[in-house]
Amino acid sequence: LIDRGQAEHSVITTCAYCGVGCSFRAEMKGEEIVRMVPNKDGHANHGHSCVKGRFAIGYATHPDRINTPMIRQKISDPWRIVSWDEAIAHVASEFKRLQATYGKFSIGGITSSRCTNEETYLVQKLVRAGFGNNNVDTCARVCHSPTGYGLKATLGESAGTQDFDSIEQTDVVLVIGANPTDAHPVFGSQMKRRLRAGARLIVIDPRRIDLVRTPHIQADYHLKLKPGTNVAVLDTLAHVIVTEGLVNEDFVAARCEHDAFEKWRTFVAQDKYSPEAMEADTGVPAELVRRAARLYATGGNAAIYYGLGVTEHSQGSTAVMAIANLAMATGNIGREGVGVNPLRGQNNVQGSCDMGSFPHEFPGYRHVGDAKVRASFEEAWGVSLYDEPGLRIPNMFEAALDGSFKGLYIEGEDIAQSDPNTQHVTAALEALECVVVQDLFLNETAKFAHVFLPGCSFLEKDGTFTNAERRISRVRKVMEPKGRYADWEVTQLLANAMGYPMHYKHPSEIMDEIARLTPTFNGVSFDKIDQLGSIQWPCNAQHPEGTPVMHVEEFVRGKGRFMLTEYVPTSEKVNAEHPLILTTGRILSQYNVGAQTRRTANVMWHDEDRLEIHPHDAEERGIQDNDWVGIESRAGQTVLRARISERMQPGVVYTTFHFPGSGANVITTENSDWATNCPEYKVTAVQVTRVSQP
How is 178-237 classified by DSSP, letter by letter?
--HHHHSHHHHHHHHHHHHTT-EEEEE-SS--GGGEETTEE-SEEE-PPTT-HHHHHHHH
Residue 15 or residue 122: which is nearer to ligand SF4 going by CB? 15
Q: How far is the CB of 302 from ligand SF4 (least distance, A)?
A: 24
Q: How far is the CB of 45 from ligand SF4 (least distance, A)?
A: 6
DSSP reduced 3-state for 27 = strand
Q: How far is the CB of 460 from ligand SF4 (least distance, A)?
A: 17
Provide the CA 390 distance to its chain's centre, in angstroms.
Answer: 21
Per the CB < 8 A criterion, the answer to whether 679 and 312 are in contact is yes
Residue 40 or residue 367: which is nearer to ligand SF4 going by CB? 40
Q: How far is the CB of 413 from ligand SF4 (least distance, A)?
A: 18
Residues 6+ apart with CB under 8 A from 235: 268, 273, 278, 322, 565, 567
Q: Hey, what amino acid is at 126?
A: L
Residue 361 or residue 460: which is nearer to ligand SF4 going by CB? 460
- What CA–CA distance (Å, rounded) separates 178 from 423? 28
- Helix 507-517, helix 371-381: angle, nearest 10: 150
Q: How far is the CB of 682 from ligand SF4 (least distance, A)?
A: 21
Residue 184 or residue 477: which is nearer to ligand SF4 going by CB? 184
For residue 539, is it left (φ>0), alpha (ψ between -120 and 50) or beta?
A: beta
Residue 162 or residue 592: which is nearer to ligand SF4 going by CB? 592
Residue 55 or residue 386: which is nearer to ligand SF4 going by CB? 55
Q: Which of 106, 107, 105, 125 is nearest to 115 (CA)?
A: 125
Q: Which of 593, 432, 493 is nearest to 94 (CA)?
A: 432
Residue 186 or residue 320: which is nearer to ligand SF4 going by CB? 186
**Main-chain phi, psi angles of 476, to 5 degrees:** -120, 140
Residues 6+ apart with CB under 8 A from 197: none
Q: How far is the CB of 473 from ligand SF4 (least distance, A)?
A: 10
Residue 473 or residue 649: which is nearer to ligand SF4 going by CB? 473
- What CA–CA distance (Å, rounded) separates 150 from 676? 10
Residue 116 or residue 124: which is nearer to ligand SF4 going by CB? 116
Q: How far is the CB of 168 from ligand SF4 (least distance, A)?
A: 18
Q: How far is the CB of 18 from ligand SF4 (least distance, A)?
A: 3
Residues 6+ apart with CB under 8 A from 606: 587, 588, 589, 590, 656, 658
Distances (CA, A) of 611 to 224, 370, 511, 585, 688: 19, 47, 44, 11, 9
Q: Cis link prior to 363 (omega < 30° from 0)?
A: no
Which residue of the chain is nearest ligand SF4 when measured via CB?
Answer: 53
Q: How far is the CB of 179 from ligand SF4 (least distance, A)?
A: 13
Residue 22 or residue 323: which is nearer to ligand SF4 going by CB? 22
**Main-chain phi, psi angles of 581, to 5 degrees:** -105, 125
Q: How far is the CB of 1 from ligand SF4 (least distance, A)?
A: 13
Contact residues for ligand SF4, defined by CB under 6 A: 15, 17-18, 20-22, 45, 49-50, 52-53, 184-186
